[in-house]
Structure 1
Amino acid sequence: MDYLPIVVALVVTVSSVAIIHLLTTRARKSCPANLPPGSLGVPVIGQSLGLLRAMRSSTGDQWVRDRIDRYGPVSKLSLFGTPTVLVAGSAANKFMFFSSALALQQPRSVQRILGEKSILYLHGGEHRRVRGALLEFLRPDMLKMYVGRIDGEVRRHVEENWRGRAAVTVMPLMKRLTFDIISALLFGLERGAARDALAGDFGHMMEGMWAVPVNLPFTAFSRSLRASGRARRVLEGITREKKAGVLGHGKASSGNNDLITCLLGLTDERGERVLSDEEIVDNAMVALIAGHDTSSILMTFMVRQLASDPATLAAMVQEHEEIAKSKADGEALAWEDLGKMKLTWRVAQETLRTVPPIFGSFRRALEDIEFDGYRIPKGWQVFWTANVTHMDASIFQEPAKFDPSRFENQSASAAPPCSFVAFGGGPRICPGIEFSRIETLVTMHHLVRHFRWKLCCKENTFVRDPMPTPLHGLPIEIEHRTSSA
């Protein structure tokens, strides 16, 4: 009888047991005390596949709730190869937004595509410097001047893509509209071949933004990197051109400056430029992503909601017809008109509550910190999701019900701070909230006054990958309203 296979199998088995025991013992010795409950799961993979599957089947919120039911509002797991702590609730949101011991964390793929110098990866004083520069472009006096230009872009978009059509697909149209608005106001890029080429590169760039960062020719990440390189070269060219203009005039030249011109013209007390060319390009890339996705998703899901909510739609039509009566024929909307669109913005806020564009985000612990009695080790990720508080019945009564009136008098609301977090919060709250508000209100003004619509798909669902996307991009049948001629 040949005993060699048996001996080999025995040796392998004993060795495996010994190695597993050694690794487990070391892990226990090195594992910090007082960690949250939960499991890190299989090395590297952890719970990543489970979360991604849930998001793509539109059950991501249930996946998070099941975990909270099992372990409580603070638990440990492993996501995307990194030990992670999931935190939930309004106190957790406040901790995420205001703790100086946490830095924003993004997948490495995003960093490689958008650049190393963007606001997404800066912390402390560097973050405040870049954020302050961006906010110069978004000052109230600047925003007031953008309303008419945005109104012009929306009117052209409606004429070219909605009028005379029997059916449209909403999400790609909203994405192109917000891209056109951003191209005009952020980069000063006029309509034409250059803008169209940048739009194509931008679409390819987005496809690999959250892909596995494997740079092989056939991967989505590789295609995204190449598209990012082309887009970056366009923005570098725009920056050089506008830099020559700024240097020629000694400063940014007018109140209608785009973002790049505005950033080029900023100087400190010593007369030195606040941002380098690389920082301007990297943050222009981020502004392109941020301004494009949130607004286009919000407007798409507002159209989706209004298709099955005739009472809300009728009230919005009335609001916008009253505004139109005060305008001369063909006169563009002005800043003062936006203040009269109170119902429309409440509908937008309720849409953001029920379908937040950002499922959640990560922070990285810069040092050992404690939350809710548990230790979070330095270098670990901390993960939060918006829907934990958005759909909490103790905060928002009947959370599954679409009810814009819950935002009528927020100061009197019993909702604790950091409960409605569609735009984040704290020092990193989205600096483009008002810009997004202008885009949304102006667009909905023209849509609800001139069209009525119904959904083409009986199945009214959406998935996240990672942003929410309605089934087939939300195709709708449209007809023109004759009362608003």
Structure 2
Amino acid sequence: MDLSLVLALVAVALSVLFLLVTRARKPRHRGKLPPGSLGLPVIGQSLGLLRAMRANTSEQWIQDRVDRYGPVSKLSLFGTPTVLLTGPAANKFLFFNAALASQQPRTVQRIVGERNILELMGADHKRIRGALLEFLKPDMLRLYVGKIDGEVRRHLDENWAGSRTVTVMPLMKKLTFDIISLLLFGLERGTVRDALAGDFKHIMDGTWAVVPWDLPLTAFRRSLKASASARRVIAGIIRETKAKLERGEASRSSDLIACLLSLTDDSGARLLSDKEIVDNAVVSFIAGHDTSSILLTFLIRQLANDPDTLTAMVHEHEEIAKSKGDGEALTWEDLAKMKFTWRAGQEMLRLVPPVFGTFRRATQDIEFEGYVIPKGWQLLWTAAATHMDGSIFPEPDKFNPSRFENQSVAPPCSFVAFGAGPRICIGMEFTRIETLVALHYLVRRFRWKLCCKENTFVRDPAPSPLHGLPIELEHKAASP
């Protein structure tokens, strides 16, 4: 398309959106709005926030707003009037208020699908959440530990063993992709898994686009194309799994798709439609893939220059290994013994939460701290607002796993790496399993040091370390 035509269309669209936003800003409520400014039409403060995230100054960006306006302020993000709320009381208000619906940026809705658990509320949300929890309940998770153990060992043998240097982030994404592919979709290695890998590499590129327009050469266009391709692959997996279930070649515990297809209501009708399975499989894949890979990457970064934490972690895992036979896989009971390792994981989630924050939407006019939040406005919470608050977590910049020996010290809704309330992340236990199994073999088989002197990271929108975190490896004596 001719560039001048594109610019003309953009100008027209901006004019229309300006009128719509201007009209939307006319007060239709009584009461005092939070302090702050909605900024420029459509764009608002979106570019400023995204720049701060990519420059790793997003925490300061939030703090500057709090210093200027207080813990409650209005702004505009991604074309929608928004209220930023900070502090434990604000988090509790956001997570437990029935008048608030979950809301992702319109870009996320279009990429992921509108029948996913993040978007639904009421009876539909309860139905979908209940279905996904069937796959993630403890007796099911016990069955997956051995499969995850096998994937981790295979990954380390193929990608780490024999190497002098590796780049951590892409390898952790590869590991968690393989685990998720197996447990969600029942996919062994092959062309279908490779096709999904290519799609999910780009599916998140445009999720936080400032303006959700499907234009050529944009990250949002790449995400839409990748999503459409992945959804076709998943639809094909659903058809194949249905056939396997009918032939008795699969069971409810085989993988997520088989589990969701097997669920029925009181009348015997299927609990979820094919579209709902596809949408929620995409969300589950993104959540399970990104959270664990980011957590593992940043723990590896931390352990490179933290000998005390590394020593304690190695001791914990060597003690567990002594109780097992050669080549014996980890069990659910073994994971329960990895208490120090998971405290380190929680502390890393506090310092570098994989999700910067998410949105809620007011379904009616509501009040908080004397301010009115109009119906239809979105509310933003960010994990850093409490995670890096020195009055809640003393010396917040310091990595200190002992904080989590007694989690009742911090006020409720302060540590919110997985959210809280009725919409708390249902995959947090799955993330814990992936992380503990991977670290068990990493710290026992390798030592490492960072290749880059500069130890920084950016958010785009998820955190990513400089150059993907290249490290130099030293191989320990062979471990089972």
Relative to the length of structure 2, the TM-score reads 0.93
1:320 aligned partner, one-letter code:
H
1:210 to 204, 208, 223: 208
Change (3 A) 1:112 1:321: same
Q: Which residue of 2 aligns with 1:154?
A: 152
Q: Which residue of 2 aligns with 1:296?
A: 293
The answer to whether residue 473 in structure 2 is matched with residue 478 in structure 1 is: yes
Q: Which residue of 2 aligns with 1:99?
A: 97
For each residue in 1:398-451, what CA deviation from the matched residue of structure 2 results, as whole angstroms up to 9, or x when unmatched? 1111110110122xx331110000000111100011111000000000000000
Stretch of structure 1 that moved more, 38-47 or 70-79:
38-47
Give distance in 1, aligned partners of 2:73 and 2:37: 8
Give distance in 2, aligned partners of 1:267 and 1:208: 35
SS of 1:189 mapped into structure 2:
coil
Shift of 1:28: 6.5
Task: Kindly indicate whether the alpha-carbon contact (under 8 Å) linking 1:142 and 1:255 is maintained by their aligned counterparts in 2.
Answer: no
Shift of 1:81: 1.3
Q: Which residue of 2 aligns with 1:10?
A: none
1:65 to 56, 63, 76: 63
2:380 aligned partner, one-letter code:
F
The answer to whether residue 117 in structure 2 is matched with residue 119 in structure 1 is: yes
1:176 to 168, 174, 196: 174
For residues 435-474 of structure 1, the aligned pairs below 5 Å read: 435-474=430-469
Change (3 A) 1:52 1:25: closer
For residues 318-467 of structure 1, the aligned pairs below 5 Å read: 318-410=315-407, 413-467=408-462
SS of 2:458 mapped into structure 1:
strand
Shift of 1:247: 3.6
Task: Kindly indicate whether the alpha-carbon contact (under 8 Å) linking 2:252 and 2:258 is maintained by their aligned counterparts in 1.
Answer: no
Shift of 1:253: 4.8
Stretch of structure 1 that moved more, 202-211 or 179-188:
202-211
Give distance in 1, aligned partners of 2:151 and 2:94: 37
For each residue in 1:206-265, what CA deviation from the matched residue of structure 2 results, as whole angstroms up to 9, or x when unmatched? 22232342223322222221221111111101101111233445xx95464100000000
Task: Kindly indicate whether the alpha-carbon contact (under 8 Å) linking 1:134 and 1:263 is maintained by their aligned counterparts in 2.
Answer: yes
2:337 aligned partner, one-letter code:
K
SS of 1:76 mapped into structure 2:
strand
Give distance in 1, aligned partners of 2:465 and 2:406: 30
Give distance in 2, aligned partners of 1:95 and 1:431: 20
Change (3 A) 1:25 1:312: closer
Q: Which residue of 2 aligns with 1:140?
A: 138
1:197 to 177, 188, 195: 195
1:90 to 85, 88, 91: 88
For each residue in 1:52-104, what CA deviation from the matched residue of structure 2 results, as whole angstroms up to 9, or x when unmatched? 11111000000100110111101111111111111000011111111111111
Change (3 A) 1:27 1:159: closer
Q: Which residue of 2 aligns with 1:16?
A: none
Give distance in 2, aligned partners of 1:406 and 1:26: 45
Shift of 1:279: 0.6
Aligned length: 460
SS of 2:234 mapped into structure 1:
helix
Give distance in 1, aligned partners of 2:69 and 2:324: 57
Q: Structure 2, unaligned stretches of length 5 or more?
A: 1-20
For each residue in 1:154-176, what CA deviation from the matched residue of structure 2 results, as whole angstroms up to 9, or x when unmatched? 00000000000000000000001
Q: Which residue of 2 aligns with 1:246?
A: 245
Give distance in 2, aligned partners of 1:217 and 1:38: 35
Task: Kindly indicate whether the alpha-carbon contact (under 8 Å) linking 2:165 and 2:470 is maintained by their aligned counterparts in 1.
Answer: yes
For each residue in 1:308-348, what CA deviation from the matched residue of structure 2 results, as whole angstroms up to 9, or x when unmatched? 10110011111101111111111111111001100100000
Structure number with bigger Rg: 1
Q: Which residue of 1 aligns with 2:72?
A: 74
Relative to the length of structure 1, the TM-score reads 0.92
Change (3 A) 1:24 1:473: closer
Task: Kindly indicate whether the alpha-carbon contact (under 8 Å) linking 2:253 and 2:259 is maintained by their aligned counterparts in 1.
Answer: no
The answer to whether residue 226 in structure 2 is matched with residue 231 in structure 1 is: no
Give distance in 2, aligned partners of 1:30 and 1:114: 32
Q: Which residue of 1 aligns with 2:5?
A: none
Task: Kindly indicate whether the alpha-carbon contact (under 8 Å) linking 1:235 and 1:281 is maintained by their aligned counterparts in 2.
Answer: yes
Shift of 1:29: 6.0
Give distance in 2, aligned partners of 1:371 and 1:39: 18
Identity of aligned residues (%): 72
The answer to whether residue 257 in structure 2 is matched with residue 260 in structure 1 is: yes
1:295 aligned partner, one-letter code:
S
For residues 46-65 of structure 1, the aligned pairs below 5 Å read: 46-65=44-63
Stretch of structure 1 that moved more, 474-483 or 369-378:
474-483
Give distance in 1, aligned partners of 2:24 and 2:205: 40
1:313 to 310, 313, 326: 310
2:324 aligned partner, one-letter code:
K
The two structures, once aligned, show a CA RMSD in angstroms of: 1.9
Task: Kindly indicate whether the alpha-carbon contact (under 8 Å) linking 1:46 and 1:79 is maintained by their aligned counterparts in 2.
Answer: yes
Change (3 A) 1:144 1:309: same
Stretch of structure 1 that moved more, 146-155 or 266-275:
266-275
Shift of 1:27: 6.1
For each residue in 1:271-328, what CA deviation from the matched residue of structure 2 results, as whole angstroms up to 9, or x when unmatched? 1111011111111011110100111000000001101101100111111011111111
SS of 1:478 mapped into structure 2:
strand
For each residue in 1:112-135, what CA deviation from the matched residue of structure 2 results, as whole angstroms up to 9, or x when unmatched? 111121111101111000000000
Stretch of structure 1 that moved more, 233-242 or 108-117:
108-117
For each residue in 1:385-406, what CA deviation from the matched residue of structure 2 results, as whole angstroms up to 9, or x when unmatched? 1011111111111111111011
SS of 2:259 mapped into structure 1:
helix
Change (3 A) 1:432 1:464: same
Give distance in 1, aligned partners of 2:224 and 2:44: 27
Change (3 A) 1:243 1:25: closer
Give distance in 2, aligned partners of 1:58 and 1:29: 35
Task: Kindly indicate whether the alpha-carbon contact (under 8 Å) linking 1:32 and 1:377 is maintained by their aligned counterparts in 2.
Answer: no
